[in-house]
């Protein structure tokens, strides 16, 4: 008897699922025009998510430099390295503030990417915007969190070093970071070359990063003497 009831329930569920699918197909509210608008909206949402992700990546880079520089201000033994660390921190704090100012005007929250959403509803273009945005934003928080974990691991390694050993390791870390930073900025300048305001921000930041790269090289030479 129990087996018969199980089969009956399974058959009923299968029939109901089939009927619901048929009804949804038969009453599809999206016209051809709606579908085209949805497609276009989705592309807009994807582009917005791509920009938010890029801004988040740049914010993580700035934050990494600030944390490393703050540690070096406290722990570096060489006065010149300590002074460079101070400049590095201040420059990236300015970069971060400029990025936040731009993001605020664009209504982009760079500290909590997971809270972002495109305020839109409906089956046409607006619904497409939200769908495109949501799909592109999947796993973004996890990826940025991974970068933050890597930074914390680097800080722990550096904190364990003392004296000249710390100074050398710090400069090596910053030298490698500036190269990665330039790659991130170059990527943004190509992608957003038609956005004059954002392009100006990226160009200014790239100039700062290039300057830091040269300063690190000079300091490394001096430490070898």
**Cα(98)–Cα(212) distance, integer angstroms:** 18
Contacts of 77 (CB under 8 A, 6+ apart): 162, 163, 164, 166, 167
Q: Which residue matches tokens 């087996």?
A: 3
Half-sphere exposure of 218 (CA within 13 A, CB side): 9
Give 112's pLDDT tier (boundaries 50, 70, 90).
very low
Chain segment 50-81, per-residue pLDDT in tens: 788 888 889 999 999 999 999 999 999 999 99
Class of CATH domain 40-224: mainly alpha
Give 112's DSSP letter.
-
- pLDDT score at 31: 80
Q: Where are the beta strands (DSSP E) in the chain?
A: none
Whether the pLDDT of residue 180 is over 80: the answer is yes
Give 23's pLDDT tier (boundaries 50, 70, 90).
very low
């Amino acid at each position: 008897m129990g087996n018969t009831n199980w089969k009956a329930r399974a058959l009923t569920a299968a029939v109901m699922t089939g009927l619901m699918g048929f009804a949804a197909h038969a009453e599809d509210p999206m016209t051809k025009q709606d579908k085209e608008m949805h497609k276009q909206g989705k592309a807009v949402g994807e582009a917005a998510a791509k920009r938010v992700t890029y801004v988040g990546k740049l914010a993580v880079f700035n934050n990494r430099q600030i944390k490393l520089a703050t540690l070096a201000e406290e722990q570096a033994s060489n006065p010149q390295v300590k002074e460079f660390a101070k400049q590095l921190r201040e420059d990236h704090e300015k970069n971060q503030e400029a990025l936040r100012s731009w993001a605020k005007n664009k209504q982009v929250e760079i500290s909590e990417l997971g809270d972002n959403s495109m305020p839109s509803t409906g089956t046409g273009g607006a619904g497409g915007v939200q769908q495109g945005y949501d799909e592109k934003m999947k796993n973004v928080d996890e990826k940025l969190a991974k970068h933050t974990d890597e930074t914390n691991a680097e800080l722990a390694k550096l904190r364990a070093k003392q004296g000249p050993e710390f100074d050398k390791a710090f400069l090596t870390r910053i030298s490698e970071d500036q190269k990665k930073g330039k790659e991130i900025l170059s990527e943004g300048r190509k992608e957003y070359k038609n956005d004059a305001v954002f392009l100006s921000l990226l160009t200014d930041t790239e100039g700062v990063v290039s300057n830091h790269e040269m300063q690190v090289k000079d300091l490394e030479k001096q430490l070898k003497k």
